Amino acid sequence: MPEPALIEYLDAHRSEFEEDLCEFLRIPSVSAASEHRDDIRRAAQWVAAQFRRLQFSVEVIPTEGHPLVYAESPSVDGAPTALVYGHYDVQPAEPLEKWTTPPFEPARRDGNLYARGATDDKGQMFTHLLSARAWIETKGRLPLRLKFLIEGEEEVGSDNLEKYIAANRQRLACDCCVISDSAQFAPGQPAITYGLRGIAYYELRLLGPNRDLHSGTFGGSVANPANALVRMLTALIDQRGRIQVPGFYDAVLPIGAEEREQLARLPFDEQQYKRELGLDDLAGEEGFTTLERRWVRPTLDINGLTSGYQGEGAKTVLPDRASAKFSFRLVPRQDPDEVTRSLRQMLQSICPPGIRMELIDHHGSPGVMVPLDSPYMKAAARAIQQAFGASPVFTREGGSIPIVATFHDLLGAETLLLGWGQDDDNTHSPNEKFALADFHCGIKASTILWEELSRIGKSAAAVD
C-alpha cells in the first residue's frame, strides 16, 4: 500500500494539478503548422520549467525539427531507472467549427476536460510529472531514478527521435520504459498493453504508355496500368484473408491456447463494435476471432489507390500510371526487411509485359511483445490495481508504436504501455477530452508505480 502522505498530497492538490494542466493545454503546440513554431518552443520551455521546479537536471535539445526535452533525477542506490517517454506537441485542431468550446481554451464539462492535447499526450504525459512532484514535495526525493524524454514531433513522424536515442544510449540507459499515450480497455477497466503489431508500408507505382491515352482508340492493345495494379494487389492476399507473399508466415508463431483463452475472456462486445463502425458484418482471416484478427494476426490493407480520372462523371482515359499505398501489419518475429525482399520479388514476377513497376518502401518496424511475467509488468499491474480499484486486463494493440521497438533494440529495455485514456477521447478529432477521474487515477497509479518499481532493484543494463 502506498504511504498515506503521498495519497493525501494527491487528494489535496487536485485543483492545482488541473489548473497546471490547463496552463499547458493553452499553448497551441501544433507541430504540423509552421505558424505555431513559437508555441512549440514555448511548450518545450514550459515542460522544462516543470522539471526545474523538481530539481531535475534538464536540457532543451535543439533538433533539425522541434526540440526534445530531456530531464533526469539523481540516481538512487539499489533502485532501478525508469525512462518516461511522451510528447508535448499536438495534432492540428481543425475543423474548428466542430469544437463545442475552443480547442486551446480548456473547458470542464460532465467530468471531462476538453482541449486539444488533453489526452494525446499532454494530459497523460503530465501524470508522470505530477507523480514525481508528489514524491518530491512529500518525501523530498524519488524512490528510483527517473529519466524523461519528451519530444515535439510525435504527431509529424518523430523524425529526429531515433537519431537522438542512437547517439545517446548511455545517457538514456534504463531498466524499463513507461509510455502513457493510449487508452484503457473500457471505462472502469484499465489495461496494460503487452503486444504491438509492427508495420511494413509500401507504395507500388505502375507506369504504362508515355501519356494518358484514349481508351477507345488504344484500349485492348496496350497494358492498362490500373488493370495491372488491381490484378497485382489481388494476388497478394486470397479470399480467406491469407497473405500470399512467399514466406510471409514462416516466422509467425501460432497463437497459444492460453492466450487464446485469455483474449476470449476479455469483455469485448462484438455487436457494439459493429454498431459503432456502422457494419452489419465483420470480416478477416478465416479461423480467428475479431480480437485475434486485430491484435495477433498479420494483415494487408490497401491505404490508398490513385489512377486516371477521379472527377465527376466519365472520362474515357486509359491512364498512363496507377499507384497504391498498402501496408502489412506484422506480428513479433516477422522481419520487415525480409517481407520487403519477398514482396519485391513476387511483384516483379507478376508485373505484366508493357508495365514498369517501382516499389517504394516507406517505413517498417517490427512487432513487439513484453513478457507478461516480467517484474516490471507485475509492478505496473499492482500500481494500477491500487489506483483504479480494478485489476488491469492484459491486451495487445493492432497498431504500431515504433519507439517501443527502438527502446527494445537500442536500450535493451521493455516498455510498459499504460494507457489512462478512453477509446472515445476523440484524439485527432474535434472535442478531444480527458476524463478528470482518469487523469487523477493516472497520477495516483504513476505515484505508486515508482514505489513498486523501486522494490525490483537495479538491472545490469542501467548501471552507469
- d(CA 17, CA 61) in angstroms, rounded, equals 26
Which residue, 102 or 308, is less far from a second copy as judged by CB?
A: 308
Stretch that binds a second copy, among 14-22, 73-81, 116-124, 225-233 (CB under 8 A): 225-233
Piece of the chain touching a second copy by CB under 8 A; list 113-121, 124-132, 305-313, 446-454: 305-313
- The answer to whether 220 contacts a second copy (rule: CB under 8 A) is yes
Listed ranges 212-220, 246-254, 384-392, 408-416: which one lies at the site for a second copy (CB under 8 A): 212-220
Q: Which of residues 144-203 bind a second copy (CB under 8 A)?
A: 197, 199, 201, 203
The SS3 assignment for 416 reads strand
- Candidates 218, 250, 424, 457; binder of a second copy (CB under 8 A) is 218
Nearer to a second copy, 155 or 452 (CB): 155
Cα separation, 142 vs 451, whole angstroms: 8
Residue 337 falls in the annotated catalytic set: no
Contact call for residue 81 and a second copy (CB under 8 A): no
- One DSSP character per residue, 230-249 reads HHHHHTTB-TTS-B-STTTT
C-alpha cell at 29: 503546440
* Catalytic one of 39, 72, 89, 320: 89
Query: Smallest gap, in angstroms, from Cβ of residue 102 to a second copy?
Result: 24
Cβ neighbours, 10 Å, residue 181: 21
Closest by CA to 249, choosing from 202, 302, 296, is 296
Q: Determine if 430 is a binding residue for a second copy (CB under 8 A).
A: no
**Set of cell numbers at residue 114:** 476538453
Does residue 433 contact residue 119 with C-beta atoms inside 8 Å?
yes
Among 15, 100, 210, 271, contact with a second copy (rule: CB under 8 A): 210
Q: Find all residues with CB under 8 Å of 456, minimum gap 6, and list them.
A: 80, 175, 375, 376, 379
213 binding a second copy? (CB under 8 A)? yes
Interface residue with a second copy, options 215, 262, 342, 374 (CB under 8 A)? 215
Q: Which of 247, 375, 399, 430 binds a second copy (CB under 8 A)?
A: 399
Closest approach, Cβ 214 to a second copy, in A, equals: 6
Using the rule CB under 8 A, give the single segment among 117-125, 138-146, 335-343, 396-404 that binds a second copy: 396-404
The answer to whether the beta carbons of residues 262 and 291 sit under 8 Å apart is no
Q: Are the CB atoms for 289 and 266 separated by under 8 Å?
A: no
Supply 386's cell numbers. 491500487
77 is catalytic: no
Q: Which is nearer to a second copy, 173 or 324 (CB)?
A: 324
> ∠5-11-13 over CA atoms, to 5°?
100
CB-nearer residue toward a second copy: 280 or 373:
280
Whole-angstrom Cα distance, residue 13 to residue 20? 11
Give yes or no for residue 209 binding a second copy (CB under 8 A): yes
> Residue 234 or residue 348: which is nearer to a second copy going by CB?
234
Contact (CB, 8 A) for 70 and 59: yes
Q: H helices within 119-205, ranges in order? A: 122-139, 161-167
Give how many residues touch a second copy by CB under 8 A. 77
Binding letters toward a second copy, positions 248-287, x by CB under 8 A: -----------------------------xxxxxxxxx--
Q: Which of residues 309-338 bind a second copy (CB under 8 A)?
A: 309-310, 313-319, 322, 324-325, 327, 329
Q: Which residue out of 39, 72, 151, 154 is catalytically annotated?
A: 154
**Interface residue with a second copy, options 97, 240, 304, 460 (CB under 8 A):** 304
Binding-site member from 122, 133, 294, 458 for a second copy (CB under 8 A) = 294
- Closest separation in Å from C-beta 144 to a second copy: 32
- Which of 358-363's residues contact partners 24+ apart within 8 Å by CB, and which partners? 358/204, 358/205, 358/206, 358/207, 359/202, 359/203, 359/204, 359/205, 360/202, 360/203, 360/204, 360/205, 361/200, 361/201, 361/202, 362/201, 362/202, 362/203, 362/325, 362/327, 363/199, 363/201, 363/402
Return the residue of 101, 244, 362, 391 that touches a second copy, per CB under 8 A: 362
**In the set 102, 354, 412, 430, which binds a second copy (CB under 8 A)?**
354
- Pick the piece of the chain touching a second copy (CB under 8 A) from 39-47, 77-85, 114-122, 294-302: 294-302
| Sheet architecture: strand order including 112-114 | 107-109, 112-114, 433-435
Measured CA distances, 83 to 91, 215, 218 (Å): 24, 60, 62
Q: Does 353 bind a second copy (CB under 8 A)?
A: yes
Task: Check if the beta carbon of residue 102 is closer than 8 Å to that of residue 115.
Answer: no
Q: Report the residue from 163, 231, 333, 341 that binds a second copy according to the rule CB under 8 A.
A: 231
Which grid cell sits at 460?
Answer: 545490469
**Chain mean position to CA 145:** 25
Regarding 68 and contact with a second copy (CB under 8 A), the answer is no
Catalytically active residues are 89, 154
